[in-house]
Amino acid sequence: MDFITAEEKQGIEARVEELKANRPILSKRIAEARALGDLKENADYHAAREDQGMNEAEIRRLEERLKNVQVADHSQVPADIVFLGAIVKLRDKASGKEDLYKLVGEASGNFDADEIEVTTTSPMGESLMKARVGDEIKVDLPRGTKRFEVVKIL
């Protein structure tokens, strides 16, 4: 069972609705391409069918994901523990550099945010889960182990 925030669930639901709204557009593209004639050598037809297939596959994937997720209930979690949806300031023990990290169920792909998104299933996310301010966490990364100190939970 995956845990996600309420905002992440709303984002997934909005994406599903957007993809479903795209169905008539794709059907129209297929019909227009079919009207051009010979389907064997009709690149527009094949491209539209491929787009339709990818659209439907993404709808199925997201709907399946929504069936298997649980929205995290923040009212049950003490404020001093890192949990899903928390934004945490960490200090790299080796360099002293501080960065903000946000613990999420699924990365949004937004690279303009002030914080670095970390999924709960990543090595960093697993180490952060249930940590407290002042704790030192150890993260096993492909390039070796890194240590961080939890400075603040925002």
Domain 74-153 CATH assignment equals 3.30.1540.10: no
Q: Checking DSSP bridges between strand 98-104 and strand 87-92, what pairing results, if any? A: antiparallel
pLDDT in tens, 44-80: 899 999 999 999 999 999 999 999 888 877 666 677 7
The DSSP 8-state label assigned to residue 143 in this structure reads T
Percent of the chain with pLDDT over 70: 97
Number of neighbouring beta carbons within 10 Å of residue 33: 18
Q: Enumerate the CATH 1.10.287.180 domain ranges in the chain, comma separated.
A: 2-71
Handedness of CA 26, 29, 34, 35 (dihedral sign): positive
Could you tell me which CATH number the domain at 2-71 has? 1.10.287.180
E strands within the chain? 2-4, 69-71, 87-92, 98-104, 116-119, 136-141, 144-153
Q: Which pLDDT value is given to residue 123?
A: 92
124: Cα separation from own chain's centroid: 15
State if pTM tops 0.75.
Answer: no
- Report the chain's mean pLDDT, rounded to a whole number: 89
